[in-house]
Amino acid sequence: GKALSSMPGKMSSGPLIVARRAPRAEEEEEFDGARMDLKEVVAKDSGDRQRWLTTALKAAREDRIRLGLTALFDILAHRKFADNIAAKAGRRMRREILQHSDLFSAKQQKFLQSSHWSLDQFGGGSGGAGGPDRHDDIDEDVADRHEELSRKKAAVWDAEERAARRAAEPAGEPTIVSSANVELAKTEAD
């Protein structure tokens, strides 16, 4: 049997040659400055902005953002980034950014979790007197108390360890002290 040619009306006895295009590598390239322009990003409609965000965060996770994470953060933190976004898209975008917040510095993360961030309007608390700021203050107070308690425990433990070390050292020879030695020194001292 004869094979059909790629040209109409021609018969060919050879193999049929087909050109195959490589899949688009748009997401594989670096996320460059053209895509990191605030004006272009805020000009996108809600759906396109959400798709841009997903691609940008994926590129950031894979370390493919040419201008760095600061440029990405500057766009996400800008008040216009949340303009003209549908509520559902805003909630999704906010959640997606917070899920990737570990990409950013501690100071940047704190901003993304504050009520000062424009996307905070799409979630993050009930607002009003018992809103997110109040809870943030309570959480910080609890964290401060835990940190202070940990420091006090460490100071007491260090003092006990030093006392045990002094008691266990005969005539100035240093001794390696373990927690078992500390307990032994406590019982011998009593």
pLDDT tens-digit profile of 72-101?
999 999 999 999 888 888 999 999 999 999
pLDDT mean over 140-168 = 67
pLDDT of residue 26: 47
SS3 category, 110: helix
First to last CA, the chain: 104
- Weakest mean pLDDT among 33-37, 127-131, 141-145: 127-131
Q: Give the residue, 36 or 121, on which the prediction is more confident.
A: 121
Structure tokens of 25? 């590598």
pTM over 0.85: no
Instruction: List Cβ neighbours of 90 (8 Å cut-off, separation of 6 or more).
Output: 46, 82, 119, 121, 122
pLDDT greater than 90 at residue 33? no
Average pLDDT value for residue range 52-65: 89
At 37 the pLDDT is 86
Q: Are 65 and 75 in contact (CB under 8 A)?
A: no
Q: Which pair of tokens denotes residue 17?
A: 């040659």
